[in-house]
Amino acid sequence: MKSTVESLSPTKVKLIVEVPFEELKPSLDAAYKSIGSQIVVPGFRKGKIPPQVIDQRVGRGPVLEEAINDALPKLYSQAVQDNQVKAIGRPEVDVTEFNDKESLQFSAEVEVRPEITLPDLDGIEAGVEDIAISDDEVTEQIEALRQRFGSLNPVERAVADKDFITIDLSATKDGEKIEEAQATGLSYQVGSGQLLDGLDEAVIGLSAGESATFTTQLVGGELKGEDVQVEVTVTAVKEQELPAYDDDFAQTASEFDTADELTADVRARLERGKRLEQAGDARDAVLEKILTMVDVPVPEGLLTDELAARKENLEQQLGYSGMTFAQFLEGEEQTEEEFDEDLKKRSEDAIKAQFVLDMVAEQQQLSVNDQELTEHIVRHAQRSGVSPDQFAQHAVENNLVPSLVSEVVRGKALAHLVENAKVTDASGNVVELKTLQPDGTYADPEAEGDAAADETPAEEPAKA
């Protein structure tokens, strides 16, 4: 077999392949065997019919067609390997010439990873916002903790904002009761906005035993998005009594002896969380800066697939939330054209980032070991709401393991870039990222070094 490659664009090539007929013999034999097992010829056992008899009964054409269809994927893969083509996506194959018992010639156009040149990426400068913890944020966390230890007390008065109430709901459409929109004994906090639009306004001022009717839209079912009438009946009203925030409360709700110590811990936890957010912002800022430094052509087919996947994911999310696309656009304060433009830009940047990170990983010879892959699968499983074993089985059955490995490698490549970048906050302070831990604390570099020196060599990690 002979093959040559022709560049059509920075992201697409054309393979031209010439195959001597004798190299098609295994596929031709398989075609005769397959067709021979499907037909009946008197005087011959099924599956033992000679090729010349099959040619007479079925015709040479169908046999050759099946043989070529069987051989093309293998021949294409061999041509890709021989020419070291970094193919992505499905090829467009065209049989350009076929002479029975002589030769086969075909071409295959396929998108490829673009050749990109990386500049020196060490010491890239990027900026992030300062970490700031406001007193209001601390107070909000303390109030949430007090609410966890609060008590609900029945009251003999009309419903007010923030009350906890028990209600019955009954929805109708044009006077007809909607069976799937009936509920009794629901617990609800007024002002939370967690049930139906208009519910808060309807219940405020009602006393236990009183009802009100309001118009709203259902968030699910066959009548989702349509106006319906809902009658709400309040059956109980309770108000929450919060414990005093003092040393006794600190001892009850935490491991601290005083309220001041608990407040300091709340502030420290908020700071750790903000530190992790800042690290995420640093990651995004460094990657964004790199993408402005590198020319990365984007394959059209890959972009089309990425756009389709993102739109499908958005449609699923909107379906779960009961929101229409028009409502989503309104919330985002975007027109459909602006959304499409923004989605295309984000998709292009995501593809460019993958190419850059893959090259960095290759240059740094980054790999993935079993523990890293397992931890990544566990995180995916948690986000998907399934067990790690279920997600792992799904990944194996759907050939997703290579893509999961690539995700881990790219994450390590990005971490390498960020750790070697110079990131400063708005006040000009250098943001330390190399020793930042997953919980928002900093590791002791000397202790890390001592621990690494004491470790025994692990197994050779699996190559990505």
pLDDT tens for 113-123 read: 999 999 998 88
pLDDT on residue 133: 95
Question: What distance in Å separates the CA atoms of residue 10 and residue 95, rounded to the nearest whole number?
Answer: 24
Question: What distance in Å separates the CA atoms of residue 35 and residue 399, rounded to the nearest whole number?
Answer: 31
CATH 3.10.50.40 at 151-241, yes or no: yes
What mean pLDDT comes out for the span 22-36?
93
pLDDT on residue 91: 95
Q: Mean pLDDT for the chain?
A: 90
Question: What distance in Å separates the CA atoms of residue 311 and residue 27, rounded to the nearest whole number?
Answer: 41
pLDDT in tens, 129-184: 999 999 999 999 999 999 999 999 999 999 999 999 999 999 999 889 998 889 99
Q: Does residue 19 sit in helix, strand or coil?
A: strand
Cβ of 76: how many Cβ atoms within 10 Å? 19
Residues of the chain with CATH 3.10.50.40: 151-241
Residues of the chain with CATH 3.30.70.1050: 2-111
pLDDT on residue 446: 55
pLDDT on residue 451: 43
pLDDT on residue 307: 95
* CATH of segment(s) 259-424: 1.10.3120.10
Question: What distance in Å separates the CA atoms of residue 111 and residue 13, rounded to the nearest whole number?
Answer: 6
- What is the band of 427 on the pLDDT scale with cuts at 50, 70, 90? very high
Q: Which of 40-44, 360-364, 435-439 has the lowest mean pLDDT?
A: 435-439
Asked if 422 contacts 430 with a C-beta cutoff of 8 angstroms, the reply is yes
pLDDT on residue 261: 97
Question: What distance in Å separates the CA atoms of residue 22 and residue 67, rounded to the nearest whole number?
Answer: 12
- Say how far residue 295 (Cα) sits from the centre of its chain: 26
| Whether pLDDT at 461 is above 70 | no
- DSSP assignment of 25-50 equals HHHHHHHHHHHHTT---TTS-TT---
Question: What distance in Å separates the CA atoms of residue 252 and residue 247, rounded to the nearest whole number?
Answer: 9
Residues of the chain with CATH 1.10.3120.10: 259-424
What mean pLDDT comes out for the span 72-85?
96
Q: Quick one: CATH architecture of 2-111?
A: 2-Layer Sandwich (3.30)
pLDDT on residue 457: 35
Neighbouring C-alpha atoms within 13 Å toward the C-beta of 302: 21
Element (H, E) at 232: strand 227-241
Q: Where are the beta strands (DSSP E) in 77-207?
A: 87-99, 103-112, 125-128, 151-154, 164-173, 176-189
